[in-house]
Amino acid sequence: SLDRRVAIKVMSPAMVYGPGLVERFRQEARTAAALSHPNIIPVYAVREVDGLLFFVMKVIEGTSLDAIIEEMGPMPVPMIAAILSQVGGALGYAHRHGVVHRDIKPANILLDEEGWVMVTDFGIAKVTDSSALTLTGMSVGTPTYMSPEQCTDGEVTGATDQYSLGVVT
C-alpha cells in the first residue's frame, strides 16, 4: 500500500500445527520489530490472513555472507573488519536491549549493494524478559557456530553471540 518493495517471510502452513511454532514465529517478528538499529533488518508488520502467518520486512538488495565466502574464498582483512564492526554493533545493541540472537552464522548476515551489513533471522533469539520458547535441555542454533554453553545447556548471554561471530570471522 506504500509502493515500497518488501520481503515477506511466510510460515509454512504445514508448521502451523507444530507445538509452539506459531508462537516462535510471532516472537521472531516481535523481537526483530522491537530492535531499531541500522544493521538489523527492520520488521514492518506481522499478519495472519486466512490461516497464513507472515511478517513483512525491509528487502535487502545484496547477498548473504555465506554466498560471498563461497564466491571469494578468503576475504581481505579490511572487509572482514568492516563486517565484524557492523555485526558487532548490531549485536551490542540487541544485547543492551535484552536480546541474544543465538544463531549468528554467515547465512544470517547480509551485505547490501552499498556494503552495509544487516543481521537477520531472530527466529531462535532469547529475550531475557519473556518466557522461554525452548524446552529445558534442548540445544538451539547451527552446530558449526554454536557456543559451548549452547551445546551444554549453559547460560546463554551476549558472549554466546560473540563466540559465534568469532567463528564466522
| Positions marked catalytic | 103
82-115 burial string, b = 16+ CB within 10 Å, else e?
Answer: bbeebbbbbbebbbeeebbbbbbbbebbbbeeee
Nearest alpha carbon to residue 108 among 98, 123, 97, 94: 123
- Rounded CA-CA distance 66/73 in Å is 10
Q: Grid coordinates in use for 37?
A: 538499529
Nearest alpha carbon to residue 150 among 168, 162, 135, 138: 138
